Amino acid sequence: MAQATFHFPRGFLWGTATSSHQNEGNNQNNNWWRWEQQPARIIDDTESGLACDWWNGRWREDFDRAAETNQNAHRLSIEWSRVQPTPERWDENAIDRYREMLRGLQDRELTPLVTLHHFTNPRWVEDQGGWENPEVSAWFTTYVSKMVEALREYASLWITINEPNVLVGLAYASDAFPPGKHSLASSVRATTNLVRAHASAYKAIHSLQPQARVGLAVQIRPMLPRSPRWPLDRLVASLADRNLNHLFTEALVSGKLRFPGWRKRLPEVKGTQDFLGINYYTRDLVNFSLWHPMQFFARRSFARDADLSDTGFIANDPSGMFQVLKWASRYKLPIIIAENGVDNADDRLRPRYIIEHLHQVWRAANFNWQVKGYFYWTLVDNFSWNRGWTQRYGLWELDPQTQTRRRRPSVDLYAEICQENGISSDMVARYAPEILEKLFPD
């Protein structure tokens, strides 16, 4: 066996990613809590409930777990509905609690990456049209300004909005997320307002904290034609890839939103990103289907021999990570991998998934592409939106009934990677021997 180590750049950020609704528990004043109360909205008929019980203080022990396993950063989000429960009222106690959490990260020498919107809206925002209301950009900017003013002592790395492309696709083009509009017109309105809200928030953050670094986190799920020789498969793969993956990022570069057959100039949004936040999980094969008009007539699937996650939701496809980073490198901006992970309760797939994906990140870094950090999704099992508690992404297992945490083997793998700032052949031999020859051939 070849003895070697793939080392990452000095100062690389190693962390895990979490979100407020999925981890805090009892977020009862947002649109998602209300959605969970409706029949058949959640695949296993569960609710977020206590989630990981962070609002009652269990963030402390989980932050300890992150720090004790050699992570040097953590991504978390602020719950808008907690700090601004009504248009006229700010909850200073909630704001103080977020100060305490960020101070807790600082005390543990974990660099905070703070997300200001991770899928949830206060009920009062949703009741007034949510992201379809042209006023939402102003509302969001007011909230962002309040939070940055309150937290800038502890954080300077900000994500304005998590996965706006996923939010539009699942909440406005389909009915998987609230408000479940299933409308192309609603999707266009929401996309326009999300782009404007990000740009307005970006400018507000820099006015309060000039040294801040601000970006979006966009999920990129590449689309490849299932039959490359078939023109319709190539066409729908190209359309789906552009509109599902690249619409937001391209708008922030060009100042133009480009939907099929429709364009809108938004010069005020041009140049409003200091880094690219990339969430990558897997990629799809695409074939033409008349039954999928809201997905640009693209039916998505995996290869027949795909290495699948527990629920079949993710295929272990690490070459897609390199494809995404190659695409991102053309923007000449720093890149942060803000999410990457797999649902795997028995932890048999996760070690090779982590190693193989990080190997592709290492390859990208050796091309001098500006990859600055990696955040595994997620630290501890949490509530997975419309899929409830069916998906187990955590390095740590969680029993949501007892709040008991159990260490999975991948905890130790990731701890060694973080400590070494790299992947060694010895690590692969111990945690994922089935891919040793592939990564370290004799």
The SS3 of residue 59 is: helix
Helix runs in 178-226, H state only: 184-208
Helix runs in 272-375, H state only: 319-329, 350-366
Compute, in degrees rounded to 10, the torsion defined by CA atoms 351, 357, 361, 362: 50
Q: What is the largest CA-CA distance in the chain?
A: 66
Return all residues near 274 (Cβ < 8 A) that are at least 6 apart: 212, 213, 214, 215, 333, 334
| Domain ranges within the chain, ordered by starting residue | 5-439
Kind of pairing between the strands at 111-115 and 73-77: parallel
Class of the CATH-defined domain 5-439? alpha beta
Closest CA to 276 of 336, 222, 332, 317: 336
pLDDT number for residue 1: 62
- 388 Ramachandran zone, left/alpha/beta (phi>0; psi -120 to 50): left
Model confidence pTM above 0.95: yes
Low-confidence residues of the chain: pLDDT under 70:
1
Cα–Cα distance for residue pair 148/158, rounded to 1 Å: 9
Bridge partners (DSSP) listed for residue 77: 115
